[in-house]
């Protein structure tokens, strides 16, 4: 079964140490994720691809107990849906909104160290395994 990323240009893949692909403004230095064509701070269009740190600290989170609205959500629904965590991870230059591998809010704490992983998300019509990024607690 082939593994295909949920979207192109979001994280480096295939990779043993995947990194999120953000952008950095050449004029003012602000880093964004996802990558943007123009700077949200100074409106410069001099945005260069910028790989983010693989580790960060959990900043805020919640749990998704039911399937999000579709579209844009195209993951498992109905009986196949499994609750998942969603949070912001501060990777130093930017806070990244991401899925968390931990869905039990009791096991998450502010400031805990998190690492980027790539996890199965769903299967597509061609039988490929679609993978997405998530953060998991560093053991």
Judged on CB neighbours under 10 Å (0-12, 13-18, 19+), 98 is buried
Rule CB under 5 A: is residue 41 a binding residue for Zn ion?
Answer: yes
47 lies in the binding site for Zn ion (CB under 5 A)? no
In terms of CB distance, is 27 or 112 closer to Zn ion?
Answer: 27
Cβ(108)–Cβ(52) below 8 Å: no
Only segment of 34-42, 50-58, 66-74, 113-121 that touches Zn ion (CB under 5 A):
34-42
Q: What is the Cα 58 distance to its own chain's centre? A: 13
* Given 25, 91, 98, 114, the residue binding Zn ion (CB under 5 A): 25
- Rg over alpha carbons for the chain, rounded to the nearest Å, is 16
Q: What is the DSSP string of 41-67?
A: TT----EEEEEPPSEEEEEEEEEE-SP
How many residues sit in the footprint of Zn ion (CB under 5 A)? 7
27 touching Zn ion, by CB under 5 A = yes
Check residue 44 for interaction with Zn ion (CB under 5 A).
yes
Residues found near Zn ion in the complex (CB under 5 A)? 25, 27-28, 39, 41-42, 44
């Amino acid at each position: 079964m082939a593994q295909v990323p949920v979207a192109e240009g979001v994280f480096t893949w295939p990779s043993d140490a995947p990194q999120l692909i953000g952008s950095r403004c050449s004029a003012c230095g602000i880093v964004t994720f996802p990558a943007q064509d123009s700077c949200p701070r100074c409106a410069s269009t001099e945005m260069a691809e910028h790989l983010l740190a693989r580790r960060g600290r959990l900043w805020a989170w919640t749990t998704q107990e039911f399937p999000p609205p579709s579209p844009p959500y195209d993951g498992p629904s109905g009986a196949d849906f499994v609750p998942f965590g969603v949070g912001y991870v501060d990777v130093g230059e930017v806070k990244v909104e991401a899925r968390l591998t931990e869905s039990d809010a009791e096991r998450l704490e502010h400031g805990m160290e998190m690492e980027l992983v790539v996890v199965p998300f769903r299967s597509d019509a061609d039988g490929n395994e679609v993978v997405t990024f998530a953060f998991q607690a560093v053991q």
